């Protein structure tokens, strides 16, 4: 599937002028960039789809420590793209409302931050927690919806839980305030929605809690 270049999401760090159409992600279209665009147009490690398909077939491209099979795989905020043969690792972050790819060390590439979007209690006090990006984990840890977990993809374990609460650092991942970060000043309900009041250096903003992720300081 393709999209006219002029209609791409504003957080894509690619020029509005160029080829008429660009690929879109296989899913999560509104909040991700397809791998082919990242590798060809942003990181510039391949020249075309054929080259990307070749290295994918050779299992030379990992996202969150998992080999990727689809050139249209969605790259989301905080995903980590690894190219083991080159010993290169890139973390997707937001800067000035654009998704950019920051090179990180191999050790840091093992750790990812996910938002807990739902949970279900199973037998023997085991919780199934469903995370952003479609990952599900079984755990006995005490964790609530909207909290964040720092997950080690190599060890397949939760290293830390970050509570969504007053005083914690918040990062806006969707909506008009995307890319903003600051301290959570309050959590409250209005009009049936749970909101966070976030203190930025120059102002305070109210953001739907679903659009916010709690982060390490």
Which pLDDT tens digit goes with each residue over 134-184?
A: 788 999 999 999 999 999 988 888 999 999 999 999 999 888 888 889 999
Name the residue among 152, 141, 148 with its Cα closest to residue 115: 148
pLDDT in the model for residue 119: 94
Instruction: Provide mean pLDDT across the span 70-85.
Output: 94
> Distance of alpha carbon 216 from its chain centroid, rounded?
15
- Which distant-in-sequence residues (6+ apart) come within 8 Å of 102 by Cβ? 90, 91, 93
Using the predicted structure, report yes or no on whether residue 5 has a pLDDT greater than 90. Answer: no
Instruction: Provide mean pLDDT across the span 81-102.
Output: 92
Question: Domains of the chain by range and CATH?
Answer: 2-106 (3.10.290.10), 109-162 (2.40.50.740), 169-215 (2.30.30)
Name the residue among 213, 175, 180, 174 with its Cα closest to residue 199: 180
> Distance of alpha carbon 147 from its chain centroid, rounded?
15
The answer to which of 15-19, 29-33, 94-98 has the lowest mean pLDDT is 15-19
């Amino acid at each position: 599937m393709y999209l006219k270049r002029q209609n791409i999401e504003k957080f894509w760090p690619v020029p509005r002028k160029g080829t008429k159409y660009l690929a879109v992600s296989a899913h999560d279209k509104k909040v991700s960039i397809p791998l082919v665009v990242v590798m060809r147009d942003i990181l510039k490690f391949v020249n075309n789809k054929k080259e990307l398909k070749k290295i994918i077939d050779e299992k030379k491209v990992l996202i969150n420590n998992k080999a990727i099979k689809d050139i249209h795989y969605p790259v989301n905020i905080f995903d980590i793209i690894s190219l083991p043969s080159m010993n290169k690792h890139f973390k997707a972050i937001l800067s000035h409302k654009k998704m950019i790819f920051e090179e990180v060390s191999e050790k840091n590439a093992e750790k990812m931050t996910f938002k807990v979007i739902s949970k279900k209690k199973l037998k023997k006090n085991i919780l199934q927690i469903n995370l952003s990006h479609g990952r599900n984990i079984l755990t006995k840890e005490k964790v609530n919806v909207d909290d964040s977990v720092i997950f080690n993809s190599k060890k397949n374990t939760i290293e830390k839980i970050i509570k969504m609460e007053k005083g914690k650092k918040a990062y806006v991942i969707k909506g008009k305030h995307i890319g903003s970060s600051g301290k959570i000043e309050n959590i409250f309900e209005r009009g049936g929605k749970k909101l966070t009041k976030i203190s930025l250096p120059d102002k305070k903003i109210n953001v739907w809690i679903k659009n916010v992720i709690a982060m390490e300081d």
